[in-house]
Structure 1
């Protein structure tokens, strides 16, 4: 069982190939907390879309209508 807060070292070969480091992760967290819509719109722009999405997130956690939709019109 892994205890909460336990940190495992990343092998250096993996770290060299990583797409994000600790500083990049912290910056992403700050961006998503400040403006989640803009952050996920930027993430979506990394994909090739036939029709780029204009609606990023559409959620309802009510019993009726319950739905979770990301990039629904893309």
Structure 2
């Protein structure tokens, strides 16, 4: 895997929705408290039935990954 760094063009940076500091803040928040982070993001979606748990994951056998448990969307 290469460690080469590719700089973005200044005009692309001006059109970006977030800057580097905001990106780092998002990464920090999502890593420190993922349940709160994703629960807040989920408020942007209209739920038919609200979820009862943000995540229920285990990578031990049996592996399971469940997000927004019991929640239902009209999608």
Task: Give the TM interval when normalised to the shorter protein.
Answer: 0.7 to 0.9
Q: Does 1:67 align with 2:64?
A: yes
Helix, strand or coil at the partner of 2:65? strand
RCO higher in structure (CA 8 A, sep ≥6): 2
Greater strand content: 2
Cα deviation digits, residues 16-37 of structure 1 (max 9, x gap): 3333221111111221232111
Instruction: Give the aligned length.
Output: 71
What's the Cα RMSD here? 1.9
Shift of the alpha carbon at 1:11? 2.9
Determine the structure 2 residue equivalent to 1:55: 53
TM-score, normalised on structure 2? 0.72
Determine the structure 2 residue equivalent to 1:18: 16
Gaps of 5+ in 2: none
Residues 16 and 40 (structure 1 numbering): CA distance in 2 closer, same or farther, change over 3 Å? same
Gaps of 5+ in 1: none
